[in-house]
Structure formats: structure tokens, C-alpha cells
Amino acid sequence: MKEVDEAVQEILTEIFSTALVASALRLGTPLILATVGEIYAQRSGVLNLGVEGMMIVGALVGFIGVNITGNPWMGILLAALCGGAMSLIHAFLSITTRSDQVISGFALSIFGIGVTSYIGKKWIGMAAEAGFYPIYIRGLSDLPIVGPILFSQNVLVYLAFFIVAVSSWILFKTRIGLIIRAVGENPEAADILGVNVYLTRYLCVFFGGIMAGIAGAYLSLAYTRQWVELMTAGRGWIAIALVIFGMWNPVWSFAGSLFFGVIDSFQLRLQAVGIGIPYNLLMMMPYVLTILALSSISTTALAKKIGAPTALLTPYVRGEKT
Amino acid sequence: MVANDHVDFDLREGEIHGLLGENGAGKTTLMKILYGLYQPDEGYILLRGKRFTSNSPKEAIRNGIGFVQQHFSLVPSFDAVENVMIGLKSAGLFSQNVEEVRSKIAELSEKYGLKVDSQTKIWQLSVGEQQRVEIIKALCMGTRALILDEPTSVLTPQETVKLFETLRLMVKQGFSIVFITHKLEEVMSVADRITVLRAGKVVFTCNKDETNKAELARMMVGREVIFRPEREELGKGKVILEVKDLHALNDKGLEALRGVSLYVRQGEILGIAGVAGNGQSELAEVITGLRKASGGKVFLKGQDITGCSPRERIDLGLAHIPEDRVNIGLVTSMSVLENLILKNYRSSDFNRGLFIDRQAVEHFCDRLISSFNIMTPARDTPVKLLSGGNQQRLLLAREISASPEVLVAVHPTSGLDVGATEYIQRMLLEQRRRGVAILLISEDLDEIMALSDRIAVMYQGKIVGTVEAKAAQREEVGLMMAGGK
């Protein structure tokens, strides 16, 4: 009996450690990056379901870029540009040609997964030439508990923190944020006041694409430092769900991303000590969450309650009553 | 379609220019061109003698033109300050100089008598207050020429008077104002000059002092107009529709009806007056079964129908002309014929076994088209291709053809031109003569006063007073609409 207790004790300490929290941050970062980008797009009234596709393309492009140039920042830059370029396809379809946002975003995701599986074949199994490694700050990194959690992360983790802080300032404290939110709530009101509704939406969607691209590159350059087919594993869908459950607020979505980071690393640890949660169950989770999130915004009453941008999913046409 | 056909229009400094015309005459289109929302195919605009091309609202704003649309363009989840900030270029992209804007708003609201609460979210403000926010917004953008599109359609008579005072004050300060309306009294009481548009053409421009209501009406409609519909006295019938202490929630989950009680007799029109958003829509929906009551009861011919489905109510003789004829009243992508039998396709007259008796339906449909004067190219024309007036005739034809005993009509003439309005009002009065109990909900106080036997005024989810229409004073009703009694 006593032996069992000890064994349980050992497992618990192994699971709930500073290492768990530190790795939760690492695993939460790609979600944070993608989520914040998507918040901009949705706040301006455009739902982009292509996050998963833009992320996976970002992961592959970042990886290839690093292996060609040898510079991790070049990898990030290329990934950001590719994510951005893909988002412009969605922007063109949903803003200019006013097609169904759900369909064009979804198509983007399918496209991204397909094209990376094809192009990425010859890069499988290779290690990245360079990548992002945890930094070491003398003194700070050696501190107990906070050291490994806060001061021994890679640069992109800090970038994510920074972007969350700046974004919540921009969205809620500046006139740009006011314009973005106005365009997502009542584009006509913004138009009447001389705001370029189309440009605003394009830029927001573009920024979302950039962030999704970087989030993908994070996976292949900072988290694993290799290219694995389908390596995003539904994180793009989780990001969309987090935008909605975080009620379009970067801070809440940040908290949600960390929560998912904890679950993710917890699950890895459970596997390590031999307690396996059925793999398929975990695989399913992103999609279940996305379904829940999307059904909540398509239920008008519920969408209103959680504060969904009123013009989300609605293309703007000047002079047409909404 | 040509909405504006070679229109000449000029606005002078320091004048209120009334732009008069029926719905669809092209008033709004003309102003949207001025504001850069639409582009003209031909012709040009001069601003202080210089050629001015207005490609976007941005250009118009820069040149001091402001536009308050009929359907307000405010962000409901923002407060007044935030709504102003959106367009305030001078504030810069990053700063949010909230306090400065707030005091600017306070200053303008003081100066022009535009009372607003700049701390409250727009959706919680009354419609009149929202309109004042719109005007202030335009002023903050540096407007010198203000276009107001049907500004009084959402106001109580008292608020209208207030608005006119504000406009007078602004004009004295050198502002120029275009006042769009289809109401003759208003244009006569506030405008300096008047331009009448009919079917996209300017038919008439003159100083107010040189014309009169009758002439304007003739210009507007193109023929003589009878102002008051004929209404004969009928004896008191028995009560058919009765509502007792009705409560219901609106879409936001707030209490929209807070204990409404009323009754309508046979052959009587009960008019419900009130400013939009005081529970009238919810009342109609609860009576017709489209919204659940959270308390209270509805009786039809003495029978409790509170829990009945809309179909059970229809079978009991309830007809409904909904507020939103396009989305709720009709299926606009379906044909005239299909829309006409939407309600009674189940009737044995129209069925042969499992199938619809095409011949019987066509016969029925042709009869209604001709007796209600529905202008349609064919029975199979999709309803969305008909004009608003014809859509309403069709809706009325369908509802009346079921020989109802109670008719709930919500804004039956809104958005219709004078001709169609006259027709619909005549039909309502004819139904009254037939002994139908009619609950008429309208924002047009004149319509209510002209058609009703009794007038009940709704304010904040309650009936605040009921008066006999014959003895009713406009001012008295207006005061009740504003919650003043």
C-alpha cells in the first residue's frame, strides 16, 4: 500500500513541475500568435477559417527558408509573407468578390494541408539548419521556479507576450482599434465617416495571415526544429475556437492559449509516465472545439451575448441595407 | 433604373432647403451622390462655384458636407464619444483623446440644444437621442452643410419641434441644411425653400412663402390628393381580441412588454401609437404567436390562445401584416402565385389528393391579382421583382382572402408612396366595415389619427393611455408617446 502511495507521489511530482509550466508556455505560444492575428480579422468582420492552412504553410516555408538561408529570422520572414499572401486570397474572395467566408477560408485550410504534404515530402526527417533556442540570462534564468518558466524561453515566446500586450492596447485604447471594431460592428457607420472599410478589412486579414504564418514557423523552427507532415495537428482550428471563446479579446485568448498549452504538455507527460489517453480522442479535440465555437457564433442570440462583431461574416456593399 | 433624371438642385448658405417627394422619388439617391456614396452617370456638382467631384464620403467630409441617414449609421456598442472618434482624423491614429472629444460634444450639445448622454452606449439611448448623436457627430467632423434624411420619422411631435428649433439655430450660425421629407406640414413649417422631386425629376422649386400644402401635394403626387380617408361611424361590436397583463422579452432578453392589456371590438380599429422600440413589435409578435409571452394571456373570441401555434391562431381567424414584409410576410424568391397560397395551400379547395390543384390555385390567384390591383407581369413572377406597394397589396390580398376576424397590421404603409398608402388605408377601412377587429400599429401618428376608433399609446412596454380618436389631440398623444403622462 505504502509503495503504491509513493509511486503515485512520484508520478504527481513528475507531472506538476515547473517544467510543466515552462513547456505549457512553449506549447501555448503558436496558439497565441495565430489567435491574436485572427482576432484582428474577425474584429474587422472577416472570419478566416484558413488559419490551419496558413500555419502549416508557414511551418514548411519557414523550415525550407532556414535550410536555404541558414538564418532563422529569414525563415520567420518568409513564413510570415506566405501566410500573408494566402490570407490575401481569402481577403479577395470574401471582401472584394463577397463570396462565403466559411467556404473560402475552409478551402484555404484544405489547400495548405494538401500543398505542404506534397512539397514537404523531401524535407521530412531533416533537422533544421538553425532555429530558435531557449535563451540564457545570467542570474535571472537560474532563479528557482520563475527562472525556468519566464527567463529560459526562446525569443518568439517573448514576441508573443509583446504582441498580446500591444494588441490589446491597439484594439481598445487607440483610434485604429476603434476603426477596426467599428468596421466589424457597423461598416456603414465607418464608411459614412470616411473610413475605408475595404482597406481596413484587407489589412486586418493580412495581419492575421502574417501571424498564422509565424505561428506555423514557430512549430518547425522553435518547437521541434524539424518538418513533420501535418505538424500543426489542428492548432489552427483551436486558435479559431480560442478567438471566439476568448470573446475577441487578446488577453482572454492569451489565457485560453496557455490553458491549452498546459493540457498539451500535461498530456505529453502522462504519456511519458505510461498513462495514455487514447490518441484519437486528443486528435478530435480541436475539431470538436471549432464546431462548438462556430455554432455559438451562428446562433444569433448567443453571438450577441458573447459580443461577436455584428458584421462578422457579412460582406459590405455600400448603399445596401444590412 | 434611373433614380435621378437630370436633376438641378442648389443649396444656399444659411438656408433650410426642404427636399420633398414620395418614397422612391429619388431624394435619398440625390443626396447620396452629393455625399459620394453613389457616383452620377452624368452631370456635375459645384461647391462654392468650383467643380467638385465626390468619390467617397471622405471627400465630402473634407468639404464640410455632413449626412444623417434615415437609418442611423452609429455603432450600437460604442458610446457617443467613440462614435465621433472613428471619423476624427485630427486625433491621429494612435491617440484616444477621449476627454477632449467629450467636452467638445458637451459644448456643441449646449450650443445647439442637442441633449445627449455621451457616456452611454448607443443601443441604450432612445431613437431621438441617437439622432442627436448623429447630428453632433456631423458637427464634430466640421460640417457646414448638413443633409438630414427623413429625420422626423422616428421622433415624437415634441421632439420634432425641438429638432426644428435646433435647425433654426444652426442656420442662424451660417449652416446650410437639406431637409428630406415626404411630410408636407414639416416642410412648410421649417424650410426656407422647397424642391419637389417626382420620379427622379425636379418638378418644382420655390420659396416657401410662394406655395401652399395643396400645391405641393399635387406636385409631389402628380394629381389631386384627398387627405383624409373616408371613415363612417359604426355601432359598437363585441370584443373579439383581448390581451390581459401581457409580458414578453425582446431579442436582447430585456422585458419589452410589461403588463399590456387591451381589447379590440368587432368592426373597430385600435391604433397603437408610440415611438419605435417601445414594445409595439413585440406586442404584435406575441399576439400572432411569433414570440412567447412570459406572462399574461391573449384571448381570441373568448378563447385563450396564449399557448397556440401561429397556425392554430390563423385557423381561428387571425391575420397578420407583419412589420417586415420582405423577410417575414413574403418569400420574395417565390412567385406571386406561391406567395398567395402560402397560408391556405392546405385548404381542400386547392388540393387533389397529395397534389396541389393547379387550376384552382391559378383561378384563385388571378382573382386576387385583379381584385387587389396587383401589378405583376405574370403569376409566376418572383415577388422580389415587384415594387414595395405591390408587395404590400399582395400581402394584404393573401391575408384578407382568408376572411379573418382579427387583423394585426404593423406599419402597413411604411415605405409606400402616396397612391399605395391610400389604397392600403382604404382596404383597412373596408375590412373594418366588414366587422373585422383591427389592431393597427404604426409610427405615423397621422395615419393612426385618421384610421383609428380608439388610440392606445405605448411607452416602455406599457399602454400609458387610451383615447377616443375623435376627441384626441395630437399634442396630447405626442406627450404620452414621450412618456409625459
pLDDT in tens, B126-155: 888 999 999 999 999 999 999 999 898 778
Element (H, E) at B19: strand B16-21
Q: How far is B148 from chain A (nearest CA, A)?
A: 13
Distance CA B122, CA B189 (A): 30
- Count of residues making up chain A: 322
**Mean pLDDT, residues A177-181 taken together:** 96
Whether A3 is in a domain gets the answer no
Whole-number Å distance between alpha carbons of B455 and B466: 5
- For residues B462 and B256, the answer to whether their CB atoms sit within 8 Å is no
Contact yes or no for A321 and B71 at CB 8 A? yes
B109, part of any domain = yes
Q: Mean pLDDT: which of A90-99, B4-13, B21-30, B340-349 is highest?
A: A90-99
Distance from C-alpha of B19 to C-alpha of A56, rounded to nearest angstrom: 58
Which residue in A28, A134, A33 sits closest to A79, CA to CA? A33
**With contact defined as beta carbons under 8 Å apart, do B180 and B206 qualify?**
no
Cα–Cα distance between B419 and B243 in angstroms, integer? 34
Mutate: best of A170, A172, A175, partner B, most B CBs <10 A? A175
| Closest chain A C-alpha to B358 CA, distance in angstroms | 37
A206 lies in which domain range?
A: 8-305
3-state class (DSSP) for residue A226: strand
Q: Give the residue numbers in A contacting B (CB under 8 Å), as ranges.
A: 170, 173-176, 178-179, 181-182, 185-186, 188-196, 300-301, 304, 307, 310, 318-319, 321
In terms of Cα–Cα distance, which of B87, B131, B133 is closest to A191?
B87
Query: pLDDT (tens digit, 9 = 90+) per residue, B249-291?
Result: 987 788 899 999 999 999 999 999 988 888 999 999 999 999 9
* Partners of residue B74 in chain A, C-beta under 8 Å: 186, 189
Distance CA B153, CA B275 (A): 9
Question: How far apart are the C-alpha atoms of B293 and A40, rounded to whole Å?
Answer: 40
Closest in B86, B94, B252 to A182, CB measured: B86
Distance CA B440, CA B411 (A): 8
Cα separation, A21 vs A23, whole angstroms = 5
- pTM here is 0.79
Q: Which residue of A has its CA nearest to B29?
A: A319
Indicate whether B146 and B32 sit together in one domain: yes
Q: What is the rounded CA–CA span in Å between residue B287 and residue B296?
A: 11
> Between the CA of residue B40 and those of B190, B205, B436, what are the distances in Å?
29, 21, 49
Cα-based angle B281, B184, B448 (whole degrees, multiple of 5): 30
Domains in chain B: how many in total?
2
Report the CATH number that the domain containing residue A17 is assigned in CATH: 1.10.3470
Q: Which residue of B has its CA nearest to A318?
A: B37
Nearest to B417 by CA among B26, B5, B1, B13: B26
Residue A320 has pLDDT above 60, yes or no: no
**Is the same domain home to B265 and B213?**
no
How far is CA B239 from each of CA B214, B231, B269, B314, rounded to the nearest angstrom?
Answer: 40, 20, 12, 18
* Same domain for B216 and B174: yes
Report the distance separating Cα A265 and Cα A282, nearest Å. 12
Kindly report the CA angle at B60 between A179 and B188, in degrees rounded to 5? 115
B45 — alpha (psi -120 to 50), left (phi > 0) or beta? beta
The reply to whether B437 falls in a domain is yes
Looking at the structure, do residues B193 and B304 belong to the same domain, yes or no?
Answer: no
Which pLDDT score, from 0 to 100, does residue A322 have? 37
CB contact under 8 A, A176 and B58: no
**Is residue A200 within 8 Å of residue A179, measured between CB atoms?**
yes
> What mean pLDDT is reported for chain A?
90
Extract the runs of DSSP E, i.e. beta strands, from B59-200: 65-68, 145-149, 176-181, 193-198
Average pLDDT over residues B175-203: 90
Confidence of residue B225 (pLDDT cuts 50, 70, 90): low
Q: Is residue B359 in a domain?
A: no
Those residues with Cβ within 8 angstroms of residue B270's Cβ, 6 or more apart along the chain or in another chain: B262, B263, B264, B437, B438, B439, B440, B452, B453, B454, B455, B456
Higher pLDDT, A122 or B353: A122
Question: Using CB atoms, which residue from B37, B74, B96 is nearest to A173?
Answer: B96
Domain boundary, last residue among B190, B221, B252: B221
Res B485 pLDDT > 60: no
**Cell matching residue B38:** 453613389
- CA B447 to CA B429: how far, in whole Å? 12
Give the per-residue pLDDT at B474.
84
Show the cell assigned to B383: 415577388
Please list, residue by residue across A198-210, b when 16 or more beta carbons sit within 10 angstroms of its beta carbon and e when fewer do: bebbbbbbbbbbb
Residues B265 and B139 in one domain: no
pLDDT, mean of residues B353-367: 89
CB–CB contact A193 B86 (8 Å): yes
B353 found inside a domain: no
Q: Looking at the structure, do residues B412 and B272 belong to the same domain, yes or no?
A: yes
Tens-digit pLDDT profile for residues A238-249 = 999 999 999 999
Contacts of A318 in chain B (CB under 8 A): 37
Residue A243 one-letter amino acid: V
Over residues B73-93, the mean pLDDT reads 90
Q: Is the confidence at residue B405, as pLDDT, over 80?
A: yes
Confidence class for position B375, pLDDT limits 50, 70, 90: confident
ipTM: 0.86
Question: Are A199 and A207 in contact, with CB atoms under 8 Å apart?
Answer: no
Q: What is the pLDDT of residue A232?
A: 93
**Contact (CB<8Å) B94/A175:** yes
How far apart CA B318 and CA B44 sit, in angstroms, is 53
Q: What is the mean pLDDT of chain B?
A: 88
Quote the CA–CA distance of B286 and A283 in Å, as a whole number: 47
- Among B77, B87, B95, whose Cβ lies nearest the Cβ of A195? B87
Chain B residues in contact with A310 (beta carbon < 8 A): 76-77
* pLDDT reported for residue B224: 66
Chain A partners within 8 Å of B85 (Cβ): 175, 178
Please name the member of B87, B94, B253 whose beta carbon is closest to the beta carbon of A194: B87
Residues of chain A with pLDDT > 90, as a percent, come to 66
Of A175, A300, A301, the CB nearest to B93: A175
Q: Among all residues of chain A, which has the CA nearest to that of B86?
A: A179
Q: Are residues B22 and B59 in the same domain?
A: yes
> At residue A55, what are phi and psi to the nearest 5 degrees?
-65, -45
Is A182's CB within 8 Å of B251's CB? no
Torsion on CA atoms B300, B305, B308, B309, rounded to nearest 10: 30
- As a whole-number percent, the residues of chain A with pLDDT over 70 amount to 96
Q: How far apart are CA B480 and CA B455, in angstroms?
A: 11
Identify the bridge partners of residue B121 per DSSP, sorted by sequence position.
B79
Chain A residues in contact with B76 by the CB 8 A cut-off are 185-186, 310
Lowest mean pLDDT among A205-219, B83-97, B202-216: B83-97
* pLDDT, tens digit, 9 for 90 and up, residues B100-124: 899 999 999 999 999 999 999 998 8
B141 and B276 assigned to the same domain = no
User: What percent of chain B is modeled with pLDDT above 90?
Assistant: 47
pLDDT at B484: 67
Closest residue on chain B to A322 (Cα) = B71
Contact criterion met (CB < 8 Å) for B67 and A321: no
Q: Is residue B207 domain-shared with residue B101, that is, in the same domain?
A: yes
Residue B57 lies in a domain: yes
Tell me the residue range of the domain where B424 lies: 239-317+404-481
Q: Are residues B202 and B257 in the same domain?
A: no
Report how many domains make up chain A: 1
Closest by Cβ to A185, choosing from B75, B93, B94: B75
Nearest to B241 by CA among B206, B270, B203, B214: B270
pLDDT tens, position by position, A255-267: 999 998 888 887 7
User: What is the model's pLDDT at position A281?
Assistant: 78
Query: What's the CATH code of the domain at B294?
Result: 3.40.50.300
CB B393 within 8 Å of CB B424: yes
Is A190 a member of any domain? Answer: yes
CB contact under 8 A, B252 and A193: no
Residue B377 lies in a domain: no
- Chain-chain contact of A189 with B92 (C-beta, under 8 angstroms): no
The residue with cell 514576441 is A159
Helix (H) or strand (E) holding A263: helix A250-272
Which amino acid makes up residue B318?
L
Tell me how far the alpha carbon of residue A66 is from its chain's centroid: 21
B167 and B119 housed in the same domain = yes
DSSP secondary structure letters along A95-147: IIS---HHHHHHHHHHHHHHHHHHHGGGGTTPBPSS-------TTTTTSTTHH
- C-alpha to C-alpha distance for A191 and B57, rounded to whole angstroms: 7
**From the list A178, A195, A321, which residue is nearest B82 (CB)?**
A178
pLDDT for A21:
86
**Partners of residue A179 in chain B, C-beta under 8 Å:** 86
Residue of A nearest to B137 (CA): A193
Identity of the amino acid at B473: Q
- In DSSP terms, B46 is beta-bridged to B51
How far apart are the C-alpha atoms of B301 and B287, rounded to whole Å?
A: 13
d(CA B259, CA B296): 7
Q: Answer yes or no: do B210 and B269 share one domain.
A: no
> Alpha-carbon distance A100 to A97, whole Å?
9
Taking the CA of residue A195 and the nearest CA in chain B, the distance in Å comes to: 7
**CA of B110 to nearest chain A CA: how many angstroms apart?**
23
Q: Tell me if B86 and A173 make a contact (CB, 8 A cut-off).
A: no
pLDDT at A180: 97
B381, B412 Cβ separation under 8 angstroms = no
Pairwise CB contact (< 8 Å): B83 & A194? no
Cα of B443 vs its chain's centroid, Å: 6
Position B429: which residue type?
L
Query: Strand (E) positions, chain A?
Result: none
Choose between A320 and A208: higher pLDDT. Answer: A208
- The C-alpha of B211 sits at a distance from chain A's nearest C-alpha, in angstroms, of 34
pLDDT band at B47 (very low <50, low <70, confident <90, very high): confident
Interface test with A, best of B29, B37, B86 (most A CBs within 10 A): B86
Tally DSSP H helices, then E strands, for chain A.
14, 0
Q: How many CB pairs under 8 A join A and B?
A: 85
pLDDT for the residue A321: 42
With 80 as the cut, is the pLDDT of residue A107 above it? yes
- Where is average pLDDT lowest: A138-147, A219-228, B275-284, B450-459? A138-147
Q: Is residue A280 part of a domain?
A: yes
